[in-house]
Chain A
Amino acid sequence: MNVPLFSRLFEEGLITSASFEKIKTYPAKQLFSVHWEIRAILYLGILLLTGGLGVLVYKNIDSIGHQAILAIIATICAGSFYYCLKNKLPFSKENVRSPNAYFDYILLLACLSFIIFIGYFQYQYHIFGNRYGLATFFPMLLLFFCAYYFDHLAVLGLAITNLGAWLGITVTPLKLLEGNDFNSTNIIFTGILLGTGLIFAGQLSSKKNYKAHFKFTYSNFGMNVLFVSTLSGMFRFENAYMLWFLFVAGAGCFFYWYAKGEQSFYILLMSTLYVYIALTYVILKMLFDMNGVEMAAIYGAFIYFIVSGIGLVVFLMRTNKIFKNR
């Protein structure tokens, strides 16, 4: 706290003497919080430990034996779940804060080790036979249950990625493109269905006021999956690209309305950029589909980028003004 600054503010009568007295005591009893540093170390430690153990097990599988490994994983899983059940705060439809700093991580460990356990079991003993879907279906059910029961956003994220995996697509934002073969018609339509479903689930959570704070996670995953699927649909079905563009534009309108209601600049930016990609594709395709005017098309493309860029800048600034400043 900058005491000289506040003494000036005090002399100008902007703060009361009571507040100024409080500020003057600040340097004496200031506590130095290392909360976020400790959390970062803990998070990195868990990443390193699980990663290292994974490789260790993989390399020594012959000498350890499958039963022993399964037993170890099961012990970790059961122990973590036991801890969570014992320490959790009572269930509520509202946001429940975690009882301590470790709870979140231990629950995460429990869920991850459960997924590994089922995966390992299926890989080694084929408990679900060739019905591979079941091997992701059960962890998914458990993850959704844990997300709601213990109120954990990260586990909800895991559950959604598992739902995607069950349906056959990778849904995390950064791996959406590299993890999926969007030339497959099947994946495009699954993605559209999944995206719509997730957005619907998000809307439902806030409407029914049942874990309303899950809305952002649902909507975020839903938005990315829906936009990437419709965009790939547009690239894939070149003959009907205008129809697909209408889909993308429709989704864009929906998310503009959504972002406005939520005051979410993140959703606004993402959906704007997605629609911009679609619009750019349509314009460039129209320009370069014209015959015999190559040079003009190139000039046109450059001018399009400049004009549309300026237009979007104006749009973003206007919207920023409309949204109230947080």
Chain B
Amino acid sequence: MIAYNKTWLQNKFIQEHSFTALGEYYITQEEQAAIKIAYPAPFYTPNLFIRIGLFLLTGIIMIFTFGLLALICLNIIERAAGGLAVFFGMASFAILEYFIKIKKHFRSGVDDALCSLGAVSVFSGIFLPSNMNGLSICWVIFIITLFCSLRYADRLMASGCMLALLGIFFFTCTLIGGDFKAIVPFVIMVVSLIIYITSKILNDKTQFYTYGDCLQIIEIVSLISLYLAGNYGIVRELSNTMFDLRLAPAQSIPFGFVFWILTVALPLLYLALGAIKRDLVLLRVGLVLVAAIVFTVRYYHDILNIEVLVTIAGLVMIIFAWALTRYLRFPKHGFSSRERNTAYSQDKLSVESLALAETFSPQPALPPGTEFGGGSFGGGGASGDF
């Protein structure tokens, strides 16, 4: 099913593992070089920045090609738009196959762009001329993205496929109506949980190396959707608008307390499980979702002024980080606060310093011009439009 050369993908997987082993000083440089020769993977995979550039340029080329096609068919565009988009999408996939099979591209930016563009234009070709409801839209997205995920192992497509599947369950339940409407959150949660467990099990089995990246992204998305489906705020606002409950601002939904428990407990459960199982995905998603607890609680209960809350949160986080570093200064329970023993790239540092300069940048120091009326050019007036 996969379009890329299977043996090379496997070799690439072996190369990456040997590279990690080299980075942590388990094997020697010579051994790594020997492995690389024994398991070659001569894909065309350029540097990340070149990949970004190729992605953008492929996008430009394809969009203007589509524009040119539309321009040529200008007289019949209203009737032919859908067919044109589907044709264009198919053509994108054909070009994609050429680049994969003949030019040996793999994650080069060209294949990423062609895959996304192909999927989007086939979808809009089907979607635009017709009058579809939510359920059939989800089915169309599901089929297209499932095909793309299986054939091109694209992470974006894999997450889109998973969300479309959830959408199918959501709209099916709401269409059946009655009691099914009330249990929609639980249906979504159960489906997310099943998806998470399945992808986790599949990912732990090494023969699925081809889809390792896709499975990992599905793990992350399913953990988040599992949480959001049980989040009080999401459930309340969504059921309020979708099912026309007409809730008063302070009014709760039926069985609101169940969702409050889920809102607070799930991220903590993720963190605990992540710590016990040494699972980075669980740990990181849990950390991010702790912020979601704070936002949800704060949104429905005016417990503190927002600035007091922010200050306290900042203080707690600093103290927490400091205490954890102190506690783990000498590794405990298999955890360590030290960096892993891998090659530390200068690039990382530079990027971090850029991010810092961006968040803390000062405004130009010129006077606002109101002080003595003489200021000839005021620096801060944003009007850079060209």
Q: List residues of A (142-194) whose CB comes within 8 Å of B's CBs.
A: 153-154, 156-158, 160-162, 164-166, 168-175, 177-184, 186-187
A5 to B39 Cα, complex, angstroms: 12
Closest to B348 in A: A36
**Shortest distance in angstroms between B22's beta carbon and chain A's nearest beta carbon?**
10
A297 to B374 Cα, complex, angstroms: 47
Asked whether A177 and B337 contact (CB < 8 A) given A31-B331, A49-B318, A269-B50, the answer is no
Query: Are B365's CB and A174's CB within 8 A?
Result: no
Mark each residue of chain A from 208 to 221: 1 if its CB lies under 8 Å from any CB of chain B, else 0. 00000100110010
Closest to B324 in A: A38
Query: Are A154's CB and B310's CB within 8 A?
Result: no
Across-interface contacts of B352 in A (CB, < 8 A): 153-154
Among candidates A34, A136, A174, residue contacting B324 with C-beta atoms closer than 8 Å: A34
| Interface SS majority for chain B | helix
Across-interface contacts of B208 in A (CB, < 8 A): none
Query: Are B361's CB and A316's CB within 8 A?
Result: no
**Shortest distance in angstroms between A263's beta carbon and chain B's nearest beta carbon?**
9
B363 an interface residue at 8 Å Cβ cutoff?
Answer: yes
Query: Are A45's CB and B383's CB within 8 A?
Result: no
- Give the contact-size bracket for chain B: 35 or more
Among candidates A19, A169, A299, A309, residue contacting B71 with C-beta atoms closer than 8 Å: A299
28 contacts between A and B (CB under 8 A): A2-B206, A6-B21, A31-B338, A32-B336, A34-B324, A34-B328, A35-B339, A45-B318, A51-B310, A52-B311, A52-B314, A56-B307, A108-B356, A153-B349, A154-B357, A157-B353, A164-B364, A170-B363, A172-B357, A173-B354, A175-B361, A186-B377, A299-B68, A305-B61, A306-B64, A312-B57, A313-B61, A326-B47
Q: List residues of B (38-65) whose CB comes within 8 Å of A's CBs.
A: 38, 46-50, 52-54, 56-58, 60-61, 64-65
Query: Are A157's CB and B318's CB within 8 A?
Result: no
Query: Are B357's CB and A157's CB within 8 A?
Result: yes
Among candidates A31, A47, A170, A272, residue contacting B359 with C-beta atoms closer than 8 Å: A47
A182 to B386 Cα, complex, angstroms: 9
A127 an interface residue at 8 Å Cβ cutoff?
Answer: no
Q: Which of B54, B339, B362 has the most CB of A within 10 A?
A: B362
Query: Which 4 residue pairs spanning A and B have beta carbons closest together?
Result: A49-B314, A45-B317, A52-B311, A48-B314
A99 to B56 Cα, complex, angstroms: 41
Across-interface contacts of A200 in B (CB, < 8 A): none
A217 to B347 Cα, complex, angstroms: 11
A14 to B36 Cα, complex, angstroms: 10
Closest to A178 in B: B382
Across-interface contacts of B6 in A (CB, < 8 A): none
Query: Are B310's CB and A48's CB within 8 A?
Result: yes
Among candidates B336, B381, B383, residue contacting A34 with C-beta atoms closer than 8 Å: B336
A246 an interface residue at 8 Å Cβ cutoff?
Answer: no
A258 an interface residue at 8 Å Cβ cutoff?
Answer: no
Q: List residues of B (308-335) whose CB comes within 8 Å of A's CBs.
A: 308-318, 320-322, 324-325, 328, 331, 334-335
Query: Are B64's CB and A181's CB within 8 A?
Result: no
B26 an interface residue at 8 Å Cβ cutoff?
Answer: yes
Stretch touching chain A among B27-35, B135-143, B149-157, B247-255: B27-35
**Shortest distance in angstroms between B246's beta carbon and chain A's nearest beta carbon?**
35
Closest to A295 in B: B71
Q: Which residues of B are at the interface with A, using a C-beta cutoff of 8 A? A: 14, 17-18, 20-21, 26-28, 31, 34-35, 38, 46-50, 52-54, 56-58, 60-61, 64-65, 67-68, 71, 110, 206, 278, 283-284, 287, 307-318, 320-322, 324-325, 328, 331, 334-340, 346, 349-350, 352-354, 356-367, 371-372, 377, 379-384, 386
Stretch touching chain B among A22-30, A82-90, A248-256: A22-30
Query: How many of chain A's residues have a CB under 8 angstroms from any CB in B?
Result: 108
Q: Which of A130, A160, A161 has the most CB of B within 10 A?
A: A161
A179 to B381 Cα, complex, angstroms: 7
Query: Are B53's CB and A272's CB within 8 A?
Result: yes
Asked whether A157 and B354 contact (CB < 8 A) given A38-B337, A213-B346, A268-B49, the answer is yes
Query: Are A46's CB and B314's CB within 8 A?
Result: yes
Closest to A97 in B: B344
Query: Are B46's CB and A320's CB within 8 A?
Result: yes
**Shortest distance in angstroms between A234's beta carbon and chain B's nearest beta carbon?**
10
Query: Are A52's CB and B320's CB within 8 A?
Result: no
| Interface SS majority for chain A | helix
A66 to B27 Cα, complex, angstroms: 62
Among candidates B50, B328, B353, B383, residue contacting A153 with C-beta atoms closer than 8 Å: B353
**Shortest distance in angstroms between B184's beta carbon and chain A's nearest beta carbon?**
33
A78 an interface residue at 8 Å Cβ cutoff?
Answer: no
A235 an interface residue at 8 Å Cβ cutoff?
Answer: yes
Closest to A166 in B: B365
15 new A-B contacts, CB < 8 A, other than A154-B356, A170-B363, are: A1-B20, A5-B14, A5-B17, A9-B18, A19-B28, A41-B321, A48-B314, A49-B310, A168-B379, A169-B364, A172-B361, A173-B354, A175-B361, A180-B384, A298-B71
**Shortest distance in angstroms between A171's beta carbon and chain B's nearest beta carbon?**
8
Query: Are A130's CB and B371's CB within 8 A?
Result: yes
Query: Are B364's CB and A168's CB within 8 A?
Result: yes
Among candidates A4, A59, A130, A303, residue contacting B367 with C-beta atoms closer than 8 Å: A130
A319 to B47 Cα, complex, angstroms: 11
**Shortest distance in angstroms between A101's beta carbon and chain B's nearest beta carbon?**
6
A283 an interface residue at 8 Å Cβ cutoff?
Answer: no
Asked whether A56 and B206 contact (CB < 8 A) given A132-B366, A302-B68, the answer is no
Across-interface contacts of A51 in B (CB, < 8 A): 310, 314
Asked whether A45 and B321 contact (CB < 8 A) given A37-B287, A182-B384, A320-B46, the answer is yes
Query: Are A45's CB and B315's CB within 8 A?
Result: yes
**Shortest distance in angstroms between B7's beta carbon and chain A's nearest beta carbon?**
15
**Shortest distance in angstroms between A34's beta carbon and chain B's nearest beta carbon?**
6
A33 to B364 Cα, complex, angstroms: 41
A239 an interface residue at 8 Å Cβ cutoff?
Answer: no
**Shortest distance in angstroms between B298's beta carbon and chain A's nearest beta carbon?**
13
A174 to B355 Cα, complex, angstroms: 10
Across-interface contacts of A112 in B (CB, < 8 A): 360
Asked whether A37 and B336 contact (CB < 8 A) given A135-B365, A168-B366, A172-B358, the answer is no
